[in-house]
Structure formats: C-alpha cells, structure tokens
Amino acid sequence: MDRFELSRPNTLAEAIDLLPAEWDEDGGRQAIPLAGGQDLLTVLKEGLHSPDRLVHLKGISGLDGITSSGEGLRIGAMCKVATVAGDEAVKRGWRALAEAAVGVGSPQIRNLATLGGNLCQRPRCWYFRNSDAPCLKKGGYECFAYEGRNKYNAILGGGPSYIVHPSDIAPALQMLGAEVRTHSATGSRLISMQDLYTLPVDGDVTRETVLGADEVIEEVIVSEQPEGFRTTYVKARERGSFDFALSAVALGVRVVGGEIAECRIVLGSVAPVPWRARSAEEMAVGLKDNPTTWAEVAQQALEGAEPLSENGYKVPLTRGLIEKAFRRLAMEDA
C-alpha cells in the first residue's frame, strides 16, 4: 500500500471540497471517501488504487442514524451494517433489508462496514483483484474471465466485462424501491437504486455506479410498503459464514385470495448490477400462489442467462433460491 494523507472533515461540505471534480482516465481519483474501510482498504492493499488522500467520513454528524415513520425509512450512509440488521423497525417493516444485512460478512465486518460502503464496494473478480492482470475492468483491453476462471462471474447482463456486484444489501433495497440521496459540489440529488448501478455495456466499464468523482451517498430512503406485501432475502454461499453470495434473491410478494397480486424479484451476484427479473414478475401476477407457479416464475427469471465455462451451476442454483424464497413466505403466511 502506498502512502496517503488522511483527512477528517467535520461536515459533508468540507468532505466534498476535498474530493476531485472529475474521474481520472482510468476510472480512479486522487482522493477517495473512506467509510468503514472494509472493502476500500483491501483495494488499496491489492494495489488497485493509489490515491493521494483518503477523506474519512466518520466525524461527520448526522450520517449514521435510522429513522422510521409512517412515510418510510431513512438510513444514514454511515450507519453500520450491524445496526441495520438489528433494528427492530427495519425487521418489522422491511424484513428483506434486515435479512440481507445480517448475511453480510462476519459479525466483526458488520460492526465496521457501513451501509454506503456496502453499496459502493468494488467487484470481487479474480482478475480485477489481481494487480498484475491488466483486465478490461481496470482500463485494459480484455475481460480475462470470459475465457478464463469464471466460477463466480456473471450469467446475466455480462459483456464486455463479466463482473458481478457483490453487495447483499443492494438487491434488497432495489426490490423495496429504495432511493439514495447524494451530495456533491453541485448540490444533492435522489437516485433510485435501479438507476444507481450501470452495466458495463452502457457506460464506463471501469465504474459500477453513476456517482460523480466528488459525489457521496448521504442517506438511503425506503418508502412504506403496500399493506400485505411481504419480503425476504435468501442467498447461497460456499462457506456457512463470512462469505460472498454465489447467488442471492430478494423477493417481495402480495397475495390476495390465493393469487399473486404483486411480485418483485431482484437477483444478486449473478450480474454486474442487482438484476431485476421483470418478465418473471409480470408472469407471476394473477397466478396461484403455489409450488407449480413458483417453479414457473423461477424458470422465467433465468430466461436469457448465458453461463460461462465454469458458472453454469448458477442457473439451477438461482432457480432453487427463488422457489425457496416463495416457499418461505408461504409457510409464514400459513
């Protein structure tokens, strides 16, 4: 890790002033905001970035609270993941979010990692994380995972880069229709979770979000969910704890008279962005809430999947997780 200056601003405005106005040509920047540091410090150790300055956001008041009301939920970007996982209001009204948060890493990681940091973490692709591999994601000319080792890479939305976004919390928030409020030198703006992330084919392949170089997530806003709308989050991983998902599903369902009246499905760890399975959602509406329907919806959700040489297992695995999520909600409703 190269030497860097550590700045500790007292306000968000001071933090923004310390950040660069534009991204470097390779997608980097000379000053980077530091939240919990669980991913960023690893990135620095791996030599993927060598900023001159880290701008620590810890000392800025008002960025770490959780507020729930009749209008919804507001969570500061510096709120610890462990706090989100354990908050009673979150568990009652936005269950999938609490389940996603409790599945992040280990207890030690959850007590240091922040909500904003989890949403903005970098991909875990072997080649991207190898400082000696000049891959496309780092400004090179080739995605080595396409014909290389790709066990953990994308089966949906891939190309020209086949990274997957590793966040557990992002799919749950997208399924819940959340927005992020950001702050930059030009002011603040609201961005839906759907629009926060970009596919490699649609933008700068070296980046994963639409955030500007001097733009910082201030808070996450989640609206109240419709009456009777129930949610859950399930994931599969190789190790029983502190591991990233091989595949994950954030599911929300509202059932009326034994039929599915509303359905939202967002998949995690199978695409470069949290993947909204819209055709499967549309198919589910009006169908009976039973195992036959769940299997049909799961099949539709993976239509168009294009596995690489080593990650074909993600297709049946993800189908199984979708059915498991439906089954969990049905059992608890019985």
Closest of 100, 160, 161 to residue 125, by C-alpha = 161
Question: Per-domain residue ranges for the chain?
Answer: 229-333
Phi, psi dihedral angles at 216 (to 5 degrees): -125, 135
- What are the helix (H) ranges across the chain? 12-17, 40-45, 81-86, 88-93, 95-102, 107-110, 115-119, 126-129, 169-175, 193-196, 278-284, 291-301, 314-333
* pLDDT number for residue 167: 96
As its CATH architecture, domain 229-333 has: 2-Layer Sandwich (3.30)
Cα separation, 292 vs 237, in Å, equals: 26
| Max intra-chain CA distance, the chain | 63
Sequence-distant (≥ 6) Cβ neighbours of residue 237 within 8 angstroms: 243, 244, 245, 246
| pLDDT tens digits in sequence order for the chain, 334 residues long | 788 999 999 999 999 999 988 877 655 678 999 999 999 998 898 888 888 999 999 989 999 999 998 889 999 999 999 999 999 999 999 999 999 999 998 889 999 999 999 999 999 899 999 989 999 998 899 999 999 999 999 999 999 999 999 999 999 999 999 999 999 999 999 999 999 999 999 978 999 999 999 999 999 999 999 999 999 999 999 877 678 999 999 999 999 999 999 999 999 999 999 999 999 999 999 999 999 999 999 999 999 999 999 999 999 999 999 999 999 999 876 5
Q: What is the pLDDT of residue 170?
A: 98
Which amino acid, one-letter code, is at 279? S
Tracing tokens 């390779």 back to the chain, one arrives at 26
**Which alpha helices (DSSP H) does 105-231 contain, by range?**
107-110, 115-119, 126-129, 169-175, 193-196
pTM of the model: 0.95
What pLDDT does 307 receive?
98
